[in-house]
Structure 1
Amino acid sequence: MKNSDSDGFQTFCRVDLTSTFQYLDLIMPFFYTPSLRRGLASRWFWLLMYVPCAHLAAQSSLSGLPFTRNFQPLDYKAGIQNWSITQTRQGLVYIANNFGLLEFDGDQWQTYGMRNGTKVRSVARDARGRIYVGGQGDFGFFFPDARGRLAYTSLADRLEKQYRDFDEAWNIYIDNEKVYFCTFSNIYVYDQQTFRTVRPKDGIDHSYLVNRQLYVNVHHQGLGILQDQEIRTIKGGTQFKDQSLAAVLPLHDDQLLVATFQDGIYTLKDGIAKPWNAALQQLLKTSIVNCMLRLRNGNFAVGTQNSGLLVLSPEGDLRTQLTSGRGIDNATVLCLYEDDLNNLWVGQNNGLAYVELGSPFTFINKQMSIPGSGYAAYLQDHTLYLGTSTGIYFREKDSASDFKLVDNTRGQAYHLGHYGNDLLAGRHHGATHIEGSTGEVLSTEFGSWVYLTLKDHPDRLLEGTYTGLQLYALVNGHWKFKKKLSGFDESSRVMAEDPSGDIWVTHGYKGAFRITLHPNLDSIAKVSFYGTDKGFPSNLLINVFKVRNELLFTSTNGVYTYDRATDRFVPDTFFTPRLGKNDQVWFIREDALGNIYFISRDHIGVFKKNSLGDYTLEENAFGKIRKHLNDDLISMVILQNNEVLFGAKDGFIHYNPYHPAEQKSNFKTLIRRVVTTSVNRDSVLFFGHYTNHDSISDQQGEMLPELRYRNNSVNFTFAATSFEGNADPTYQYYLENFEKEWSDWGAKTQKEYTNLKEGDYVFHVRARNVSGEISPVTTYAFTILAPWYRSGWAYFCYGLSVIAILFAAFNFVDRKYQREQRLMEQKQQEELSQKDTALEHLSQRSQEEITRLQNEKLESELQHMNNELATSTMHLLNKNEFITSIKNQLAHILKKNTNEEVRKELTQINRNIEQNISADDDWEHFQFHFDRVHGDFSNRFKTSFPSLSPQELKLSAYLRMNLSSKEIAQLLNISVRGVEISRYRLRKKIQLDRNKNLQDFILNF
């Protein structure tokens, strides 16, 4: 433990070294150079840092009472007494209670009883997650079963018979795999396999494990240590024989701290026992020490029978006392446990408390005799003055007593400040001068808000009141009321002086006023109003603060500065880039190190300034105090040592910036129960604990439940391991394969899904605490099986049934079809036979008709072709006849004409006519139609008689057309005699017998 404390001390000093150097830079600007700082850091580091770190690691003398959450038996529904406390790696808290083992997950309590239903006196957990418990006549451990339910296993039954009978197991200590069960008669050492029993001759008072060494206080012998099978008295241990010890703890340098129940606390070193703090011994004796715990910051927590909880320094000085009506609800403390956040669980004779010793925030409220809402504060020398809605109170800085009322100061106090030599208060009953424990009213004007010294007139002081401004003058070193300034009668709760000497006064719902005083300060020379027409988003909630040596004006949206050149307000360059234009800042304060604290609608925190002049926003830690802040007149006071007081609804909240940074919490979201619901009943599927072989695990492992379809409605209960009184965790969740996005953040710790379809699902859940920290996601996977009618076997049966039905139907239809087919075929045969007969007659008639029609068609086509051939032939005849007549006329003209040249031309024309009279294309046209009509006669005839000339082929064609010799002569452009000669020649070439007619031969060819 000493090593861990030393590490924590060094870490804290290292973290705050920069702030310390900043502080030295402020107070030593003339002779403290960077080289000196490096020398100090390297050579005198521990000398310089010892005092600050010792002070900072300890609780501030200005601190109040730590935030506390109290639990009554009605809250956790178990016995009133709580004897021992431990916490698991998952963050679950386990408490030994009169009714059994209590389990708390941050939201719900659960009680687990031992086998015989007795009280549980002690509890401890090992690295695997086993929860060892000791009770009346029994001890053992709790460990989750297959469904995650904690089940008790007794280890006492494994003892030999002669060691089985014992009263109660008051203490359990775990050293790696070794477990010590300590009773008033025996010590049982369990190594996970066997037991070793240590039974001293005299009875045992109590046992304590210190640095893996078991210390045992034996009646009539004193304090000793367990070695093998015997208890050896340590040097000086006999001084505690016949005494009952409450605790044995390490102090330092092999020095032990031994706490007795009724004789105080002693240090034991080299066999000599001395009172730890002689001045505190009497309080400890009358208080009766029940338990004691060394805290990680070096302090000691002491639980007493009569005086509640005491927090002592390493030197034994009293730092804090919590007792009935002062932080906790009961004066009798039975056990103590420090969690991973350095907060303290306090088991009491009637209830349980969670004390946030690890938080930098404490309460100064009515439990410290500070009633009412907090408005103002001031630290003057060693006296802290606090102004509330009920009066002004004071207390010496290092005093452990409660606050006292300053005489003549009852009623609302709005402001406290030191001006010149006087401590002045702004009160509802008027301006008041505070001197020690007495207040003196300076003005009969009601409603004093705030004061402002004038930089160019140090002997003058302005006071803002309900109805304007008042002036005070410095007389004999003290402020005296001089007069009320005319010309401005608005409420002046917030005001500041700008570099030009003008006074800015802001009004909650009217806007901002710029006031210029007359040079002799006896009146107001000019008042200018600034509102929406001058750059503000509205006239509401405008305030003015002096930060970084400039005036900042806050509004309903954003922070502004005054631009003298344009006489308008423009967004400032510090808050606007960091918080945006729309955040509504309510209050700003700057400490001596340049850190800027602020409260806004969306944020509360501090811009921390580092050695390079850069700022870092820290706000997570401040989220827990927001709901406690005074929402009437918001206030924040920076004390002389840079500690901060926030005005609260009930007193004040003290913030110690030098408090060690909060440990990173073991903040987790746990699925505490999974329940399946059906029509008949609900069934718990999972009881909140994951296991991996013989150890508790953070993960689900291989467990994947398969739910029947009738259990397709699933209810999840979850919790976050956040135990602060105002933790207010919120949750997000979604069901994979059912939902696509996270739900909105909400405070509900249950979610039910109904009528889920078959498939694989994974439930995801996470939490967010008051500091904005989001826990890791926790999951739970499960499968919903398909209903029997949609299962694989069902679909297989459906397939077989469908196949069988189809086969049967097909078979039935096929037989029916075949039967009908046979009947139909028989009927068709008969009909076909009848139709065949009819068709034969019809076919015969049709064939005859077709032949007739074809013949008619052929005759028609032949007739048409003959007509065309005749037409063509007549055309040739007419043409030749016409040409012949022209030739004859030309011959007649030739006879009559005597002109030799004309005769010569006409002769040539006539010769051309004779040569070309039949050499035109009409023959081809004629031959085409002729061959179509006469069955390709020309080709056949030429093939049979290849020696025929074209003229003879034409003659043969004309003869087949049965033309006369005259008509043939005209077509061939020869004489009738020439036709006869041609006929003769044709007969000869075809070798036709003279007895046969040429034209008949050709017609029949």
Structure 2
Amino acid sequence: MKYTSLNLLLLGLLMTSTLLTSQVKNIGLPDIRNYKRSDYKGGTQNWDIDQDKNGNLYFANNNGLLQFDGSSWKKYSLPNSFAVRSIKIDDSGKIFVGGYSEFGFFESNKKGKLEYFSLSKMINKDANNPIDFIWKIHIRGIEVIFQSFEKIYIYKNKQLKIRNAPNRFQFSFIINNKLYLQDIALGILEYKNDTFIPLKGSRILNNNEVWGMFPMPNNKILVATLSKGLFIYDGKGMTPWKNEANEFIKKNSSLGGVNITNRFIAINSVLDGIIICDLNGKIIQHINHKKGLQNNTVLTSFIDNKNNLWLGLDNGIAFINESSPFSYFGFSYDLSTVYASVIFNDKLYVATNQGVFCHTWNKTIKEDAFSLVKGTTGQAWDLQIIDNLLFCAHNRGALLIESPNAVKILDNRGYFGFKKIPNHPNFIIGSTYNGFTLFEKTQNGWEFKNKIAGFNKSTNTFEIDRYNLWLKKDDLLYQLELSKNLTKFTKIKCYQQLAKETKGITSIQHFNNKIYFQTKNHFYKYSQQQGTFYEDQTISAIFKNVPLINALTEDRLGNLWYAFDESLGVLLKSTNSTYKNSISPFSNLTGNLVNNYLSINTVDSANVFIGLTDGLAHYNASLSKSFITKPKVFIQSFSFPNDTLLLGNGRTKLNDYTIPYKSNSVRFIFSSPTYENVENVEFSYLLNGFTDKWSPWSTSLIKEYTNLREGNYKMKLKARNSYGIESDSTTFNFTISPPWYRHFLTYLFYISIIIATILFIQRRIKVKIRKNKYYETIEQRRIYLEKESKIRQEQYKLEKEIEKLQNDKLQIKILTKDKELVNNSLQVVKKNKILNGIIHKLKDINVESFDDSTKLKLNKLNKSITKEVTADKSWNDLEKHIKNVHFDFLKRLKEKHPTISPRELDLSTYLLMNMSTKEIAEIMNISNGGVELARYRLRKKLQLNKKENLVGFLIAI
């Protein structure tokens, strides 16, 4: 049957309405992630699963309680019991667990660490009758019910009540807040008002184990047994649930299951993984080892807060991303790299590197693999429906696929793709490995006509309009003009750029019934009349806020799909011809797209097929809104030397914490309980008090700070999931105490010391000022006295100087007088000499010849002259005067030179008086030579050398 537009629309509406009420896709497989023992460092078997309000997951494992936050695993053990068989978390965050002969709960202590509190200690245990394994835990109101094979233990208001099994319990279940237990003899019991009430008609299950009970419409209950299949209980009896789900369970055995949004049921099996069926028993999904599970025995299943499915396996743990709008056809469907896909004649055809594969298209592709179309083995590049015929561009040639078993080869050359020629409805142009060829529609169908001459380059990127064929090759754009008879290219032109302001050519694309040429998100059209390219501002504006694209294709709904940096995005076209950009839903496909082969096959909004390097992805756009949610982020732990705080164990906030200064190196570990694409979850942080900028986004879960100063700090953290959605920020406040020498009290002490020191210094300064003033007064007095004494001394010196000057003047005067006296004395000596001469001359006169009167007068004259000479004592007086005046000098000279003679003393005095040699000779009555001789002898006695002045020496004395 061939699709018409009406058929496609009706099928699309039907499928969309079905999937809007469903989160479980019946096309392809969801993303599956397996966790091995080496990942969680625990035992093999995982018996139960639950989730706290922060999003952390907990697993009852053979080796203890496992905790998982999306990035790291932690393990907690029970006292005297390694294995944990059951787990349940209440609204307060208490984690109730049960193991062998032990049950109780974990709760966060003040530091956020999980601390175990045993409730089994409240029981008087009998060594001969132990508690055995606690297989189930239920929370009903304020009651917590622990179930073993022998008893149930009801914990309420910190009291423990025990009820024994009528015979022996198997398992228990809560349905519509009612507690049901299977007894091996009485069938299924309802525990009500402290009594066990058997359900009518349930004893038919006595020889089989009931592993699951699920609520159904009209107050019915679905019962899953280990080996007898599935039953419906209607209040009156058990009837087999006759459908494909029941057949599967009877064949593979059931180990319970879980409801999914009250519209589906996931049923675990022993032998063949898990099935998900609707409320009519129709299998929607079947996931087993072949389809990606690491183990086929599913012990337990759990739906998390995002409606994703977790499986506890006999060996390992599995995560199934049921809430994703994506499902996949990969290795389990025998598909490899997909280059193109198309629906033709109720079959989905896929072009791969191994050939063309097909699968029946009935909107439920869940079991069988794709089958290879005969004759298509090898590299298939493209699939196109032209004139209701399926063309395949293949390495082996141009193929016409008429059915999975009928393939017609139109040409043996290798082909990349085909295009219809505008205005020539009966012709198709094909791109080969070395040029282009022409196909013609004849009465016998499509046939190869000729190779188009004039151009031998090959490409998978080309478009054709009324005038030209355009192709992009090696960053160049070629414009080829076909001849009228379509046998050759008559004109070839090559372009390196579209406009002066833009360099390079990124892609050619056809949408809105036009050919566009694109570079750096600027879109150009070609004017045939002007022969130039011009930018379409309207289209360029649409891509203004879109990442730089490298490929673009338009789907049948008018949506524009584009590739960028190995990622995918879409501009969704609305009814008013505007576009809305969507990138985040496709982030998990990053790196898996096929380079240079953007394969988008849009059947309708609920069915979009995308080619990948490892298969085919199916995308349902109607589920993407509920799929992308805001993530949560937690500071999982805050560590510093010798201590650690855990902030993610059921507690959203701890009180502000103070750490000592010696522990000022801190470490934060982040977590975001996000389980899809966990490797792409990124974190950004800001430590107020240390920096004011958010860190760049990083996948690192750890941040350390060392040598922080004292003060108040606020750690802010936010996360961004793989779809680019940011969480609200979370904060943690802590304080680093200052060192003792910078503590507040120490500063008070410092201030007190400073104040006391200031006061002390102030007092000392005042005392010192007073002392200084006193000493200054004393000093001023001393200075005054010194000045006064100095003035007196100066005055005394001045007086002495004056006295000396006076003495010198007097001395000079005396010397002058002495000189005058000496001169006068010399005159007297001269006079006496003259008089003596006269006397001698008078003696020579013969007086005899004179008369008596003359004789008398002459004698009288002689006597008078003699008397004058005799009476003159001036010389002796002069000598005495000289000696008196120069007494000190003569004394000092005599003391220094005791051997000096009196005559030499006289000579020294005369020399001191600066008398000339002639004057000295007259006074001393010696010749001038005698004076020189006396001077020589005096110099020798005074021990003077030749250069020393005798008079100067005497003056110095």
TM-score (norm 2): 0.76
Aligned to 1:229: 194
Structure 1 residue 542, shift from structure 2 partner = 2.2
Aligned to 1:966: none
Matched, 1:616 2:570: no
Q: 1:787 aligns with which of 739, 750, 753?
A: 739
- Describe the SS at the equivalent of 1:65: coil
Q: Residues of 2 paired with 1:98 and 1:340: CA distance?
A: 25
More deviation in 214-223 or 517-526?
A: 517-526
Describe the shift of the 1:838–1:27 C-alpha distance in structure 2 as closer, same or farther (beyond 3 A). closer
- The 8 Å contact of residues 221 and 242 in structure 1, kept in 2 or not, is answered as no
Q: 1:494 aligns with which of 451, 458, 461?
A: 461
Describe the shift of the 1:565–1:152 C-alpha distance in structure 2 as closer, same or farther (beyond 3 A). farther
Q: 1:672 aligns with which of 623, 626, 636?
A: 636
Aligned to 1:713: 665
Structure 1 residue 425, shift from structure 2 partner = 0.9
- Describe the SS at the equivalent of 1:243: coil
Matches within 5 A, 1:338-349: 338-349=303-314
More deviation in 96-105 or 417-426?
A: 417-426
Matched, 1:650 2:614: yes
Q: Residues of 1 paired with 2:423 and 2:626: CA distance?
A: 45
Describe the shift of the 1:654–1:574 C-alpha distance in structure 2 as closer, same or farther (beyond 3 A). farther
- Describe the SS at the equivalent of 1:414: strand
Describe the shift of the 1:156–1:567 C-alpha distance in structure 2 as closer, same or farther (beyond 3 A). farther
- The 8 Å contact of residues 255 and 268 in structure 1, kept in 2 or not, is answered as yes
Aligned to 1:460: 427
The amino acid of 2:672's aligned partner reads: A
Describe the shift of the 1:575–1:275 C-alpha distance in structure 2 as closer, same or farther (beyond 3 A). farther
Describe the shift of the 1:210–1:599 C-alpha distance in structure 2 as closer, same or farther (beyond 3 A). same
- The 8 Å contact of residues 86 and 123 in structure 1, kept in 2 or not, is answered as yes
More deviation in 303-312 or 518-527?
A: 518-527
Q: Residues of 1 paired with 2:652 and 2:342: CA distance?
A: 50
Aligned to 2:359: 395
Aligned to 1:114: 78
Q: 2:715 aligns with which of 751, 763, 776?
A: 763
- The 8 Å contact of residues 556 and 583 in structure 1, kept in 2 or not, is answered as no
Matched, 1:273 2:238: yes
Structure 1 residue 385, shift from structure 2 partner = 1.2
Identify unmatched segments of 5+ residues in structure 1.
1-22, 29-46, 677-681, 691-695, 844-1005
- The 8 Å contact of residues 512 and 542 in structure 1, kept in 2 or not, is answered as no
- The 8 Å contact of residues 567 and 593 in structure 2, kept in 1 or not, is answered as no
Aligned to 1:957: none
Q: Residues of 1 paired with 2:257 and 2:546: CA distance?
A: 51
The amino acid of 1:511's aligned partner reads: L
Question: What fraction of aligned residue pairs are identical, expressed as a percent?
Answer: 27
- The 8 Å contact of residues 276 and 283 in structure 2, kept in 1 or not, is answered as yes
Describe the shift of the 1:830–1:215 C-alpha distance in structure 2 as closer, same or farther (beyond 3 A). closer
Structure 1 residue 386, shift from structure 2 partner = 1.0
Matched, 1:410 2:377: yes
RMSD: 3.4
- Describe the SS at the equivalent of 2:397: coil
Describe the shift of the 1:575–1:167 C-alpha distance in structure 2 as closer, same or farther (beyond 3 A). farther
Q: Residues of 1 paired with 2:386 and 2:793: CA distance?
A: 143
Matched, 1:324 2:289: yes
Q: Residues of 2 paired with 1:532 and 1:646: CA distance?
A: 31
Q: 2:138 aligns with which of 173, 188, 210?
A: 173
Aligned to 2:602: 638
Aligned to 2:100: 136
Q: Residues of 1 paired with 2:625 and 2:286: CA distance?
A: 23
State the Cα deviation string for residues 446-470 of structure 1 (Å, max 9, x = none).
3211112234333222211122211
Structure 1 residue 109, shift from structure 2 partner = 0.7
State the Cα deviation string for residues 144-163 of structure 1 (Å, max 9, x = none).
11111011111222246589
Q: 2:690 aligns with which of 717, 728, 738?
A: 738
Structure 1 residue 71, shift from structure 2 partner = 0.9
Q: Residues of 1 paired with 2:525 and 2:660: CA distance?
A: 68
Structure 1 residue 526, shift from structure 2 partner = 3.5
Matched, 1:437 2:437: no
Structure 1 residue 644, shift from structure 2 partner = 1.7
Aligned to 1:778: 730
- Describe the SS at the equivalent of 1:685: strand
- Describe the SS at the equivalent of 2:670: strand
- Describe the SS at the equivalent of 1:106: coil
Describe the shift of the 1:406–1:640 C-alpha distance in structure 2 as closer, same or farther (beyond 3 A). farther
Q: Residues of 2 paired with 1:153 and 1:166: CA distance?
A: 17
Describe the shift of the 1:438–1:791 C-alpha distance in structure 2 as closer, same or farther (beyond 3 A). same
Q: 2:117 aligns with which of 128, 153, 170?
A: 153
Structure 1 residue 801, shift from structure 2 partner = 4.3
State the Cα deviation string for residues 477-503 of structure 1 (Å, max 9, x = none).
5322221111222214123333xx234
- The 8 Å contact of residues 491 and 507 in structure 1, kept in 2 or not, is answered as no
- The 8 Å contact of residues 679 and 699 in structure 2, kept in 1 or not, is answered as no
Aligned to 1:313: 278
Matched, 1:481 2:448: yes
Matched, 1:64 2:64: no
Structure 1 residue 279, shift from structure 2 partner = 3.8
Q: Residues of 2 paired with 1:792 and 1:595: CA distance?
A: 66
Q: Residues of 1 paired with 2:501 and 2:767: CA distance?
A: 97
Q: Residues of 2 paired with 1:117 and 1:595: CA distance?
A: 59
Structure 1 residue 203, shift from structure 2 partner = 0.8
- The 8 Å contact of residues 442 and 481 in structure 1, kept in 2 or not, is answered as no
State the Cα deviation string for residues 796-826 of structure 1 (Å, max 9, x = none).
3334445566677777888888788878866
- The 8 Å contact of residues 149 and 687 in structure 1, kept in 2 or not, is answered as yes
Describe the shift of the 1:120–1:503 C-alpha distance in structure 2 as closer, same or farther (beyond 3 A). farther
Aligned to 1:451: 418
Q: Residues of 2 paired with 1:502 and 1:791: CA distance?
A: 86
- The 8 Å contact of residues 593 and 613 in structure 2, kept in 1 or not, is answered as yes
More deviation in 133-142 or 434-443?
A: 434-443
Structure 1 residue 50, shift from structure 2 partner = 7.5
- The 8 Å contact of residues 187 and 198 in structure 2, kept in 1 or not, is answered as yes
Structure 1 residue 760, shift from structure 2 partner = 0.5
State the Cα deviation string for residues 602-638 of structure 1 (Å, max 9, x = none).
9733333334443322222111212222235332222
Aligned to 2:954: none
State the Cα deviation string for residues 197-216 of structure 1 (Å, max 9, x = none).
33231111111111111121
Q: 2:298 aligns with which of 333, 342, 355?
A: 333
- Describe the SS at the equivalent of 1:238: helix
Instruction: Indicate the structure (1 or 2) with the bigger Cα radius of gyration.
Output: 2
Matched, 1:569 2:536: no
State the Cα deviation string for residues 105-155 of structure 1 (Å, max 9, x = none).
111111111122421111111111111111111111111111110111112
- The 8 Å contact of residues 727 and 769 in structure 1, kept in 2 or not, is answered as no
Aligned to 1:894: none
Q: Residues of 1 paired with 2:103 and 2:718: CA distance?
A: 36
- The 8 Å contact of residues 81 and 347 in structure 1, kept in 2 or not, is answered as yes
- The 8 Å contact of residues 399 and 411 in structure 2, kept in 1 or not, is answered as no
Describe the shift of the 1:227–1:791 C-alpha distance in structure 2 as closer, same or farther (beyond 3 A). same
Matched, 1:685 2:644: yes
Aligned to 1:541: 506
- The 8 Å contact of residues 66 and 76 in structure 2, kept in 1 or not, is answered as yes
The amino acid of 2:644's aligned partner reads: L
Identify unmatched segments of 5+ residues in structure 2.
796-957
Q: Residues of 2 paired with 1:824 and 1:659: CA distance?
A: 99
- The 8 Å contact of residues 557 and 581 in structure 1, kept in 2 or not, is answered as no
- The 8 Å contact of residues 12 and 604 in structure 2, kept in 1 or not, is answered as no
- Describe the SS at the equivalent of 2:550: strand
Aligned to 2:478: 513
Q: Residues of 2 paired with 1:560 and 1:426: CA distance?
A: 29
- The 8 Å contact of residues 506 and 544 in structure 1, kept in 2 or not, is answered as no
Q: Residues of 2 paired with 1:231 and 1:571: CA distance?
A: 81
Question: How many residues align structurally?
Answer: 790
